Amino acid sequence: MEVGMKLAEKMELQYISPEEIKVSPDNTRKRDKNKKIDELAENIDNIGLEHPISVYKDPKTEKYQCYSGQRRLAALEKLGHEKVPVIVREPMKPIEAKIRSASENLQRVDLNEKDKADVIRHLYDELGSRTRVARRLGRSLGFINRYLGFDAVVSEEGKKIVSEDKDITVDDAVKVYRVNPKSPEKKIKLLSGKARSEKNIIIETIQENPEASTITIQKEAEEEIERRRKEAEAVRAQREFTIYLPDRYVAGVQDASETLGKKEEDVVSGAVKEWLEEKGFV
C-alpha cells in the first residue's frame, strides 16, 4: 500500500529559473560538489540532461529546495541556462528530503572497469575518433585513452579480475600486460590487497623479469619490499646535528678530510662515534 502511495505521489515537470532554487540543507552531498563540474556541463551540452533536478517548494520561504541534483543544477547554471527542468514534488519534512537525497546517491552503482572499456571501445569504433568519444561522454581525452589501452592490452580474464577486485587498477593491469609476461592473470592477482608502494615494487619486478614464474616474482618482490623497508627505517633513525667548532678544530677536520680521503662530515661523525664508544655511552 505504501509503495502504491509513493508511486502515485503528485509531481510535475516544470522549467524554472535557477535563481528560484536553493540547495536544500538536507542534500546529503556536502563534499566534492563542484568536482568535475566542467566535464558534467560539457556532457549535458552535448547530449542534454537525462534526469531533471528534484525539488520541492518550501511553504515558508516559497523557494524551491533542491534535494537531489545540485551538481546538475550547477552545470546548467555554468552553461547559462535561464530555465532548468525540475521535478516538483509535494512539500516534505526535512527528514524525508534527507532520506530521498541519500537514497539516490547511495543506490548508484558505477560501471565496472570492463563495462567502461567495452562501451568506450564501441563508441570509438562507431565515431572513429577518440576526441569525439571524449566530447560526447564529457570526459577527458586521457580518460578515453586509458580505457582504450586497457581494452587493447589486457585479456578478457584480466579485465574480469580488475572489475571484481577494487585493489587492482586499470593502470596497474596495463603496466603488467604491456611487457607480455608469463601467466599475467596470476601476476596481477599479486597486487590485490597491497599498498601503493608495494604494488609499484611488484610491477617493477614483473617488468624486469616478465618470464619469471609467479612464485619467483612474489619472492623477489617481497625481498625488495623488505629491503626498502629496512632502508627507510635506517634513514628515519638518522638524525642531524649542527656542531660549532673553533677555527683550529675546523682546520683539523679539513686536514683529516684531505689526509684520509673522506668527506668532512664523515670525519666529524667518525670522531663523535669513537668518543661515545670510548666513554662507554654506546
pLDDT band of 108, cuts 50, 70, 90: low
Quick one: average pLDDT of 121-139?
Answer: 88
The better pLDDT of the pair 219, 61 is held by 219
143-147 long-range contacts, CB within 8 A, separation 24+:
144/120, 146/170, 146/171, 146/174, 147/113, 147/116, 147/117, 147/120, 147/121
The pLDDT value recorded for residue 5 is: 40
Q: Is the pLDDT of residue 223 over 70?
A: yes
**Domains detected in the chain:** 2-106 (3.90.1530.10), 113-236 (no CATH), 247-278 (no CATH)
**257 touches 264 (CB < 8 A):** yes
The pLDDT value recorded for residue 175 is: 95
Question: SS3 letters for the chain?
Answer: CHHHHHHCCCEEEEEECHHHEEECCCCCCCCCCCCCHHHHHHHHHHHCCCCCEEEEECCCCCCEEEEECHHHHHHHHHCCCCCEEEEEECCCCHHHHHHHHHHHHHCCCCCCHHHHHHHHHHHHHHHCCHHHHHHHHCCCHHHHHHHHHHHHHCCHHHHHHHHHCCCCCHHHHHHHHCCCCCCHHHHHHCCCCCCHHHHHHHHHHHHHCCCCCHHHHHHHHHHHHHHHHHHHHHHHHCCCCCCCCCHHHHHHHHHHHHHHCCCHHHHHHHHHHHHHHHCCCC
**Rounded to an integer, what distance in angstroms lies between the CA atom of residue 22 and that of residue 11?**
18
> Position of cell 522549467?
15
Q: Considering the chain, what percentage of its residues have pLDDT values greater than 70?
A: 93
Q: Is the pLDDT of residue 277 over 50?
A: yes
The better pLDDT of the pair 161, 22 is held by 161
The grid coordinates listed for 158 are: 584480466
Q: Which of 118, 119, 128, 16 is nearest to 62 (CA)?
A: 16
Q: What would the pLDDT profile of 72-106 be if each residue is shown by its tens digit? A: 999 999 999 999 999 888 888 878 877 777 776 66
32: left (phi > 0), else alpha (psi -120 to 50), else beta?
left
**Rounded to an integer, what distance in angstroms lies between the CA atom of residue 264 and that of residue 271?**
11
